[in-house]
Chains A and B, each alone.
Chain A
Amino acid sequence: MSWALLAYAARRIALAVPTFVATTFLAFSIMHLAPGDPVELYLAGGLASGDAGIRAEKLADAERAKAELRRELGLDQPIPVQYLRWLGGLVAGDLGRSFKDRLPVWDKLVERIPVTIGIDAAALLITYLIAVPLGICSAVWPGSRFDRVSTGVIFALYSVPGFWLAVMLIVFFGGGDYFAWFPPGGIRSLEYSSDWSFATKVADVGHHLALPLFVTTLGSYTELSRYLRSSMLENARQDFVRTARAKGVPEWSVVLKHIGRNSLIPMVVILAGVLPGLISGSVLLESIFSIPGIGQLGYQSVLARDYPVVLALFAASFGLTLLGILVADILLALVDPRVTFGKSGT
């Protein structure tokens, strides 16, 4: 079992290598072919001052400075060479340095990944805690008023544009002119210190993250609970359920153990499906709530043409997607004995 699993995982990873190279090369090319030169961007501040008559001498100076910077950043090489250099660095565990502040990209990621992953994990937990009972109740009483109302409500929530809601919440509850119940952004208070007791820290962070978590989870209940509902309804029609009822198994046990457990299989698959989304975080929400996570870093880096950071994010995100698919396959095989590793899926 475990050997088959390992062999399967190894084959999947091996198959993913060319895909990884293609993905990152694509991202690399797009960034380098796009208009907007990072060198121009970083030197623009110094040049703009000599407005009226930039003399030829000064211009030549600027050109020299640009060429030097370009060489320093490795931008003078053809794109394939630059890409191979980057790939070589990656294999050696070196993600390069940020163009913007020359800090190692690795350090920047390590600083921000926990923030994004932490928020996503909390959001995921909340989603399951709310969506699973909702789905079960809808399936137990299909067509009831509860079923109809809850389906309608979660469906409406699913369509709310998250970034819009975020702006509205900040305006009305985030210290604007109306109710200053929540801080407008950030993840902790300015006076946050490591001396605080654990409970105080949690309360402080929770207070800051209440609005972002609310907005993040809002759209995710629908898929889960609808999926759970329909797979429970399907399982409820199976013979083993009728058998269980016939031999006098209590109803709650039929629902939770016989139907519920069999309906959790797709839940596992969905869980793995959301993994890749976790790293890219939400660019919009992190920007609006000033959360120093991956999404915000990515957006700022794209605007600053900070290629090494953007590429590292692409690579990390790709790795996680792969991991997500792999984990989904393995989990599925673990919970569903009918699935084997013999044949490769998609």
Chain B
Amino acid sequence: MTEPAQSAARRVWRELLRRKRAVFGLWVIGGLAALALFADLVANDKPYYLKLDGATHFPMAIELGVKLGLREWPPELVNQRFASLAERAEAAVWAPIPYDATEPDIMGGVFEPPSRAHWLGTDGIGRDVAAGMVHGVRVSLSIGLVVVAIQATIGILFGGLAGYYGGVIDLVLSRVIEVMMGIPTFFLILTVAATFPPSIYLIMAILGLTGWVGIARLIRGEFLKVRAMDYVAAARAIGASDARIMLRHVLPNAIAPVLVAMSFGVASAVLTESGLSFLGIGVPAQIVTWGSILSLAQENITAWWLAVFPGAAIFVTVTAYNLLGDGLRDALDPRERGT
């Protein structure tokens, strides 16, 4: 069973790589993921290396250790602003963007247009926009991935059970699906986000809990189709349990459309989060995301850099996932093969 499934996956992968747009999307997603992973190395107000009064420090590494609870700041560095410390340092090596995402740069001004010091300018309280954008990748991608993981789990569970067992279970689960379809989702998200205190986990939870309907319907349809196949009857005949049939035999054959939906799901989650943060009811104020930078642009509409850069970042991310989803859909569709 594993052998043909693997080769089918490999065929889809090959088909996917033949589509330029999808490959482009994959590269962008890979780049963003790398940026999210190494955000602390790219934008950080602590230098990589600092030589101060003859002593050598690696402040960025120390910070990591402190965050992990492994060590304390050395006395000469504790509660110091490294930007001011650097003036009397003998040597220092800085990150490409030597600012913190959430701390204002005390040496710079507010609403500073892009310059050598601040590549993408500063916001209303003097925070560096470039640093905020780099750390915003992390927030956006983790929200996108967690949300889609929740959606897929619930969707596969509900859709799979409804499609596999049919009958009363299907009737009940289909009503649940209908309830979720009937709810104006964005409105519900808005209600929850506006009434509860802002939190990134809350956003993940509500986006995940409201967006699984599409996946559930897909999986239900696929399970209905696949469970009537001969190989399922064969598996049942040799005494495989329902769980085994569902997980090993039916699911791998029904999962393809879900992957497409998941890719579009990430795009949509990123978009919704930025929309909520733009309204000021998404993530808490101290977390910098693309949406929250955008909302600052409303306070000062002459500060074009606060609108252009985060908007472009959202656009690129959403496009990348949409391209991937579209390419995946084509790659999975045997009729499209070779076009």
B231 at the interface (CB under 8 A from A): no
A104 at the interface (CB under 8 A from B): no
Query: Which of A88-96, A191-199, A256-264, A317-325 contacts its partner?
Result: A317-325
B29 at the interface (CB under 8 A from A): no
Residues 20-53 (chain B) with a chain A CB within 8 angstroms: 21
Residue of B182, B297, B314, B326 near A20 (CB, 8 A) is: B182
B91 at the interface (CB under 8 A from A): no
Residue of B177, B186, B339 near A283 (CB, 8 A) is: B186
B67 at the interface (CB under 8 A from A): no
Q: What sequence of 0s and 1s flags, for each residue 238-279 of chain B, a beta carbon within 8 Å of any chain A beta carbon?
A: 000000000000000000000000000001000100110011
Known pairs A176-B301, A177-B302, A314-B184; A284 contacts B179 (CB<8 A): no
Contact (Cβ within 8 A) A313 B184: yes
Known pairs A161-B311, A302-B191; A19 contacts B175 (CB<8 A): yes
Contact (Cβ within 8 A) B314 A164: yes
A158 at the interface (CB under 8 A from B): yes
> Shortest Cβ distance from A16 into chain B, in angstroms?
8
> Shortest Cβ distance from A174 into chain B, in angstroms?
10
How far apart sit A341 and B298, CA to CA, in the bound complex (Å)?
52
Contact (Cβ within 8 A) B191 A34: yes
Residue of B195, B310, B315 near A31 (CB, 8 A) is: B195
Known pairs A27-B188, A298-B187; A19 contacts B182 (CB<8 A): yes
Q: Is the interface of B mostly helix, strand, loop or mixed?
A: helix
A168 at the interface (CB under 8 A from B): yes
Residues of A near B326 (CB, < 8 A) are: 155
B60 at the interface (CB under 8 A from A): no
Residue of B nearest to A276 (CB): B184
B183 at the interface (CB under 8 A from A): yes
B82 at the interface (CB under 8 A from A): no
* A-B contacts at CB below 8 angstroms, number: 129
Contact (Cβ within 8 A) A234 B335: yes
Contact (Cβ within 8 A) B267 A159: yes
A346 at the interface (CB under 8 A from B): yes
> Shortest Cβ distance from A233 into chain B, in angstroms?
8
Residues 173-220 (chain B) with a chain A CB within 8 angstroms: 174-175, 177-179, 181-184, 186-188, 190-192, 194-197, 217
A337 at the interface (CB under 8 A from B): no
B130 at the interface (CB under 8 A from A): no
How far apart sit A163 and B279, CA to CA, in the bound complex (Å)?
10
> Shortest Cβ distance from B183 into chain A, in angstroms?
6
Contact (Cβ within 8 A) B184 A317: yes
Contact (Cβ within 8 A) A303 B194: yes
How far apart sit A346 and B304, CA to CA, in the bound complex (Å)?
48
How far apart sit A22 and B179, CA to CA, in the bound complex (Å)?
7
Residues of A near B279 (CB, < 8 A) are: 283-284, 287, 299
> How big is the A interface, by class?
35 or more
Residues of B near A36 (CB, < 8 A) are: 195
Residues 293-339 (chain B) with a chain A CB within 8 angstroms: 294, 297-298, 301-302, 304, 307-308, 310-311, 314-315, 318-319, 322-323, 326, 335-336, 339
Residues of B near A6 (CB, < 8 A) are: none
> Shortest Cβ distance from B184 into chain A, in angstroms?
4
A210 at the interface (CB under 8 A from B): no
Contact (Cβ within 8 A) B307 A23: no
Q: What sequence of 0s and 1s flags, for each residue 301-322 of chain A, a beta carbon within 8 Å of any chain B beta carbon?
A: 0110100001001100110011
Residue of A152, A156, A346 near B174 (CB, 8 A) is: A346
Residues of A near B267 (CB, < 8 A) are: 159
Known pairs A155-B322, A280-B187; A164 contacts B179 (CB<8 A): no
A13 at the interface (CB under 8 A from B): no
How far apart sit A213 and B319, CA to CA, in the bound complex (Å)?
22
Contact (Cβ within 8 A) B294 A167: yes
How far apart sit A167 and B307, CA to CA, in the bound complex (Å)?
8
Residues 2-57 (chain A) with a chain B CB within 8 angstroms: 15-16, 18-20, 22-23, 26-27, 30-31, 34-36
Contact (Cβ within 8 A) B182 A322: yes
A115 at the interface (CB under 8 A from B): no
Contact (Cβ within 8 A) B195 A35: yes
How far apart sit A346 and B174, CA to CA, in the bound complex (Å)?
7
A142 at the interface (CB under 8 A from B): yes
Residues 144-198 (chain B) with a chain A CB within 8 angstroms: 174-175, 177-179, 181-184, 186-188, 190-192, 194-197
Residues of A near B177 (CB, < 8 A) are: 346
Residue of A19, A167, A170, A230 near B179 (CB, 8 A) is: A19
> Shortest Cβ distance from B210 into chain A, in angstroms?
11
Contact (Cβ within 8 A) B184 A35: no
Residue of B nearest to A284 (CB): B275
A248 at the interface (CB under 8 A from B): no
Residues of A near B336 (CB, < 8 A) are: 230
Residues of A near B191 (CB, < 8 A) are: 27, 30-31, 34, 302, 310
Residues of A near B178 (CB, < 8 A) are: 16, 19
Contact (Cβ within 8 A) A164 B311: yes
Known pairs A35-B197, A298-B187, A302-B191; A346 contacts B217 (CB<8 A): yes
> Shortest Cβ distance from B71 into chain A, in angstroms?
39
Residues of A near B217 (CB, < 8 A) are: 346
Contact (Cβ within 8 A) A143 B181: no
Residue of A142, A177, A318 near B182 (CB, 8 A) is: A318
Known pairs A284-B275, A284-B278; A167 contacts B182 (CB<8 A): no
How far apart sit A325 and B307, CA to CA, in the bound complex (Å)?
39
**Can you name 19 A-B pairs with beta carbons within 8 Å?**
A18-B175, A19-B179, A20-B182, A26-B183, A27-B191, A30-B188, A34-B191, A159-B315, A160-B315, A161-B314, A167-B307, A177-B302, A283-B187, A299-B279, A302-B187, A302-B190, A310-B191, A313-B187, A321-B182
The 6 closest A-B pairs by CB, nearest first: A34-B195, A164-B311, A159-B319, A317-B184, A318-B182, A159-B318
Given contacts A155-B323, A321-B182, could you give 16 more A-B pairs where the C-beta distance is less than 8 Å? A35-B196, A35-B197, A156-B319, A158-B322, A159-B267, A160-B315, A161-B275, A161-B315, A164-B311, A280-B184, A287-B279, A302-B187, A302-B190, A310-B191, A317-B183, A321-B184
